[in-house]
Structure 1
Amino acid sequence: MSKRLADFLLTPAEMAAADSAAAESGINSYRLMEKAGAAVAAAALRLYPGARRFVVFCGPGNNGGDGYIVARLLQESGGQVDIFHLGNPEKLKGDAARARAAFVLKGQDIGRYEPQRGDVVIDGLFGAGLARDVPSEVADLIHKVGKAGTPVIAIDLPSGLDGRTGAVLGGAFRAAHTVTFMTRKPGHLLMPGRELCGTLEVFDIGIPARIIRAQTDGRVDENTPAAWRAVIPTEQVETHKYKRGHLVVFSGDASKTGAARMSAMAGLRAGAGLVTIAAPSEALSANSAHLTAIMLHAIDDAATLKGWLEDARLQTFVLGPGFGIGKKARKFVSLLRDRHLVLDADGISSFKDDPQALFDLFRGEPRLVLTPHDGEFARLFPDIAAEKRAGKVDKALAAAGRSNAVIIYKGADTVIASPDGRALINTNAPVWLATAGSGDVLAGIIGGLLAQGLPAFEAAAAGVWLHGEAGHRAGKGLTAEDLAAHVLPY
Structure 2
Amino acid sequence: MQQQVYHSLVYHSQSIQAWEKRWFQQQNSSYGLMQQMAWAISQQLGTLFFRQKIKKIAVCCGQGNNAGDGYLVAKYLKQAGFQVEIYAAEPGSSRDLATAVQEAKQAGLQPYSQFDFQTEYEAYVDALFGIGLNRQLDSNWQDIIYGINRQNGLKISIDIPSGLGANTGQPMPVAIKADYTFTGLGFKAGLFTGQGKEYAGKIELISVIPADTELQPIAQLASHQIQLPKRQTFGHKGSYGHVLVIGGHANMGGAVIMAAEAAFAAGAGKVTIACDAKHHTAILSRAPNIMLRDINALTVEQRIALIQQVDAVCFGMGLGRDEWAKEQYQAWFDLIQNSDLEIVLDADALWFLARQPQILNSKTYATPHSGEAATLLQKGTQEIELDRVAAIHTLQQKYQGQWLLKGSGSLILEEKLYICTAGNAGMGTGGMGDVLAGMIASLKAQFKQKIHLHEIVTLHALAGDELAKNGQRGLQAQDMKHAIYQVVNR
Normalising by the residue count of structure 1, what TM-score does the alignment of the two structures yield?
0.85
- Residue 30 of structure 1 pairs with residue 31 of structure 2: yes
Shift in Å, 1:306? 4.6
Judge conservation of contact 1:367–1:405 (CA < 8 Å) in 2. Answer: yes
Judge conservation of contact 2:194–2:385 (CA < 8 Å) in 1. Answer: no
Judge conservation of contact 1:278–1:297 (CA < 8 Å) in 2. Answer: yes
* Counterpart AA for 1:20: K
Distance of 1:287 and 1:114 partners within structure 2 = 61
Q: Provide the residue aligned with 1:346 in structure 2.
A: 348
The alpha-carbon distance between structure 1 residues 374 and 306, as it changes in their structure 2 partners (threshold 3 A), is farther
3-state SS of the aligned residue for 2:456? helix
Distance of 1:2 and 1:148 partners within structure 2 = 40
* Counterpart AA for 1:428: A
3-state SS of the aligned residue for 1:272? coil
Judge conservation of contact 2:58–2:121 (CA < 8 Å) in 1. Answer: no
3-state SS of the aligned residue for 1:98? helix
Distance of 2:277 and 2:122 partners within structure 1 = 68
Q: Percent identity?
A: 28
- Residue 158 of structure 1 pairs with residue 153 of structure 2: no
**Equivalent of residue 124 in structure 1, options 124, 127, 130:** 127
Shift in Å, 1:454? 2.7
**Equivalent of residue 449 in structure 1, options 443, 448, 454:** 443
- Residue 309 of structure 1 pairs with residue 304 of structure 2: yes
Q: Provide the residue aligned with 1:437 in structure 2.
A: 431
Matches within 5 A, 1:185-196: 185-196=188-199
Greater mean deviation of Cα atoms: 113-122 or 127-136 = 113-122
Judge conservation of contact 1:241–1:273 (CA < 8 Å) in 2. Answer: yes
Q: Provide the residue aligned with 1:272 in structure 2.
A: 268
Q: Provide the residue aligned with 2:7 in structure 1.
A: 6
The alpha-carbon distance between structure 1 residues 388 and 60, as it changes in their structure 2 partners (threshold 3 A), is farther
Distance of 2:202 and 2:447 partners within structure 1 = 38
Q: Provide the residue aligned with 2:61 in structure 1.
A: 58
The alpha-carbon distance between structure 1 residues 32 and 333, as it changes in their structure 2 partners (threshold 3 A), is same
Distance of 2:68 and 2:59 partners within structure 1 = 11
* Counterpart AA for 2:258: M
Shift in Å, 1:38? 1.9
Matches within 5 A, 1:100-115: 100-103=101-104, 104=106, 105=108, 107-108=110-111, 110-111=113-114, 113-115=116-118
Judge conservation of contact 2:187–2:205 (CA < 8 Å) in 1. Answer: yes
Distance of 2:128 and 2:296 partners within structure 1 = 63
RMSD: 3.1
Q: Provide the residue aligned with 2:286 in structure 1.
A: 290
* Counterpart AA for 1:392: R
Shift in Å, 1:51? 5.2
3-state SS of the aligned residue for 1:129? coil
Judge conservation of contact 1:6–1:182 (CA < 8 Å) in 2. Answer: no
Judge conservation of contact 2:64–2:91 (CA < 8 Å) in 1. Answer: no
The alpha-carbon distance between structure 1 residues 329 and 291, as it changes in their structure 2 partners (threshold 3 A), is same
Judge conservation of contact 1:277–1:296 (CA < 8 Å) in 2. Answer: yes
* Counterpart AA for 1:286: A
Instruction: Give the aligned length.
Output: 471
Distance of 2:77 and 2:285 partners within structure 1 = 68
Judge conservation of contact 2:3–2:223 (CA < 8 Å) in 1. Answer: no
* Counterpart AA for 2:430: A
**Equivalent of residue 483 in structure 1, options 463, 477, 480:** 480
* Counterpart AA for 2:23: A
Unaligned stretches of 5+ residues in structure 1: none
Distance of 1:368 and 1:48 partners within structure 2 = 49
Shift in Å, 1:29? 4.0
Q: Provide the residue aligned with 1:140 in structure 2.
A: 143
Distance of 1:386 and 1:472 partners within structure 2 = 27
Shift in Å, 1:266? 1.3
Unaligned stretches of 5+ residues in structure 2: none
Q: Provide the residue aligned with 1:204 in structure 2.
A: 207
Judge conservation of contact 2:41–2:206 (CA < 8 Å) in 1. Answer: no
- Residue 467 of structure 1 pairs with residue 460 of structure 2: yes
The alpha-carbon distance between structure 1 residues 61 and 312, as it changes in their structure 2 partners (threshold 3 A), is same
Deviations 1:20-66 (A, max 9, x none): 33334454443332222123333444444565643323333321221
Shift in Å, 1:262? 1.9
Greater mean deviation of Cα atoms: 147-156 or 163-172 = 147-156
Judge conservation of contact 1:120–1:152 (CA < 8 Å) in 2. Answer: yes
* Counterpart AA for 2:467: A
Distance of 1:287 and 1:417 partners within structure 2 = 33
* Counterpart AA for 1:11: H
Distance of 1:279 and 1:390 partners within structure 2 = 37
Judge conservation of contact 2:197–2:408 (CA < 8 Å) in 1. Answer: no
Deviations 1:400-457 (A, max 9, x none): 2212232222222222224x5x22221211322223222211110011122235349x
The alpha-carbon distance between structure 1 residues 182 and 279, as it changes in their structure 2 partners (threshold 3 A), is same
* Counterpart AA for 2:216: T
Distance of 1:270 and 1:287 partners within structure 2 = 18
Distance of 2:253 and 2:372 partners within structure 1 = 21
Judge conservation of contact 2:369–2:406 (CA < 8 Å) in 1. Answer: yes
The alpha-carbon distance between structure 1 residues 51 and 245, as it changes in their structure 2 partners (threshold 3 A), is closer
